[in-house]
Structure 1
C-alpha cells in the first residue's frame, strides 16, 4: 500500500492522527497547504481552508467556484501523489477520487458526539454548548459538502477499507493498527478456498 486516505468526522483528531501515521511510516503528508500549492501550480487559485466543510450555497456565493473544475483539479493532484507513492492524504475526498486506484488504503475515523464534543472543548477551549453546536453544524455541512463536490456521502462505510471509532481506539492505537492493516493487505492469502 503506497497511499493512505484518511477521512474523519470533525472533532476526532483525525488530521493529527493522519500526520502521526505518515511520520510512523516515513510517508509524506498531504493536506490543505500541499493541496493548495499543487492546485495553484495547475492554475486553480483556491483557498481550500475557507471552503472545507462549508455548505454549497455559501461556497458558491462567496467564491463562485466551478465545482467540476475544483473536483477535477484535486483529483489530478491526488492521482499524481498516488503515483509518487508513500503518502498519507488527509480529507478532501481522497476515498472518492482515488477509489479505483490500486494500492490505496481508505480509512475513516469516527467518534460519538460526546467524545467529539469533549475533544473540541479541550482543543479549542470552548464551552460545551458551543462545542455541541460545532459537532452538529460540521456534520451537517460535511454531508452537504461531500454531496456537492463529490456526489457521495463521506459517512458511508462502504467507501473505506476500515472505519475506526475513537471511542474504542486511542489515537496511539490507531497509529499502531494502520501499519499492521497495511502489512496484512500486502501479504497474499495463504489459504486457497
Structure 2
C-alpha cells in the first residue's frame, strides 16, 4: 500500500461498485482477510457478502460500505468521502437554490401625483420538484397492498370478523 487509495466516484452505482473493486485490489486483501479486519474495526462484513457486493452493479447499503472501507484500511476523512459519495448517488444530486432577484424600489417625486405601485410577484421556488420514478411508486403501492392483505388476513384468522356467539350444540356422526 505505497500508493494513494482510489477516490470514490459519485456518478452512478456501477461506477461506485467498480471503485470499491479498485479499493479491494489496492488493499491486496482476500475476502476472508477483509472479514477479519472488519471485525477488528467493530463492523460485521461476512466474506460472502463482500464478494456478492462487488459482483453486482447495485449500490450497496451504507453499513456495508462503511465496513468494507474500514476493512481496507481507510479511515477518517477518506472513509467519510466514500460514505458521502454513496449517499449522493443514493439520494441524487442536491438541488442548488437559485438566487431570487430583489426588486429595485422606484423613486417617488415630491411634486408628482402618487402613481399606482406596480405589483411585485412573490418569489417563486425555481428549484425543480423531485418526482419519484415510476417503479418506486409501484413498489410503494405493492408494499401497501401486501401490508393491508396481511393485516386483514390476520384479523380474519383471529376471528375478529366473526360473531361471538357460543355454539351450544354440536352434532357429530359416528358413521361416515
Q: Rg: which structure is higher?
A: 2
Task: Judging by fraction of residues, say which structure has more helix.
Answer: 1
Q: What range is the shorter-chain TM-score in?
A: under 0.3
Task: Judging by fraction of residues, say which structure has more strand.
Answer: 1
> Bigger relative contact order, structure 1 or 2, given CA contacts below 8 A and separation 6+?
1
